[in-house]
Amino acid sequence: MGTNRDTEMEKSGPALAIDVQGLVKRFGPRKVLRGVELKIEEGALLHIFGANGCGKTTFLRILATLALPTSGHVRVLGHDAREEDIEVRRAVGFLSHQPYLYNELSVMENLIFYGRMYGLTDQDARERGEALLVELGAGEWADLHVGKLSRGMKQRAGIARALLHSPAVLLMDEPFTGLDREGSEALRKVLDDNVREGATIIMTSHDIRAELAGVTAVALLEDGRMVGPYRVGTSEATHLVDSHGRALARDGGDCHI
């Protein structure tokens, strides 16, 4: 099956997976993002952390073309997020706090529907969906209606939806939230596999201490600006993680803009 990842990787285009310049986002008088700059190479696993309400979700939504920037430029795999939004959406898999699944349909019916939306045949969507669900420890839920699943089960099904079209760029907003230990381990393995296959992953959380395994770079979103990214293992990255950990312990993880 030809995937978006194959297509994007075959391109001899820019090595940057994400290129963000001067990104500003306002909601009325409130300026959530204040000139964010970010360059991420293909194949990176970047962990963006920052206090609750500091714009991490907004940032990911802009990368996924679900929100428009007030000003600034965003390019995903060389595609302008405003001008070439369809190409960006084809390349991106986005996992939000919501699984984006229909309660009245079974998990597999949802995956087949989304497969159709991404141009997969029903058979390809079914095969890929089954493989992902098994990988996520959710193979037995394929025929269950989503409305009957627990939050954690929905989260795993939502991960399968986000990965269904083999996106070249994965955007995951606090992906471990709501998952039990088994689910977290399954997700970590899926992320590792995707990085090995060349996918670029950006995930967010408010607590950097929670998930560092496999991460290649870290960045902090603070006061609407991006600090970093720093390659894991460098002194800057270590300092960023340590100082954020102390701030988190002091402030409890809430943003005070």
Partner 1 sequence: MSGQAIAIARKDMLVEARSRQTLVLVVLATLLITSLVALGTTSGGLSFKDDETDGGGGRAGLVSMALWVTIAIASVIAMSRSFTSEAAGETLDGLMLCPMDRSAIFLGKMLSNMVFLFLIVGEAVALYFMFGMMDPGGMDPLLLGAVMVAGIPGMAAITTTMSAMGAHSRSRETLVLVLFVPLALYTIILPGISATAGALLGEGIGDVITALEVMALSSAVYVGVCYALFDNILPD
Structure tokens that stand for 134 in this block: 């098994």
Interface with partner 1 (CB under 8 A), residue from 114, 166, 200, 228: 114
Q: Does residue 54 contact residue 48 with C-beta atoms inside 8 Å?
A: no
Interface with partner 1 (CB under 8 A), residue from 39, 118, 197, 232: 118
End-to-end CA distance of the chain: 47
Contact set for partner 1, span 42-81 (CB under 8 A): 64-68
Which range touches partner 1 (CB under 8 A), out of 87-95, 192-200, 220-228, 248-256? 87-95
- Please tell me whether residue 94 binds partner 1 under the rule CB under 8 A: yes
Query: CB of 164: closest distance to partner 1 in angstroms?
Result: 11
Q: Does residue 208 contact residue 56 with C-beta atoms inside 8 Å?
A: no
Q: Please tell me the distance from the alpha carbon of residue 100 to that of residue 71, in angstroms, as a whole number.
A: 28
Residue 128 CB coordination number (10 Å): 20
Which range touches partner 1 (CB under 8 A), out of 33-41, 110-118, 189-197, 227-235? 110-118
Crossing angle for the helix pair 181-196 and 122-135, to the nearest 10 degrees: 120
Contact set for partner 1, span 212-241 (CB under 8 A): none
Kindly list the residues in this chain that would bind partner 1 in the complex (CB under 8 A): 64-68, 86-87, 89-90, 92, 94, 96, 98, 100-105, 109, 113-114, 116-119, 161
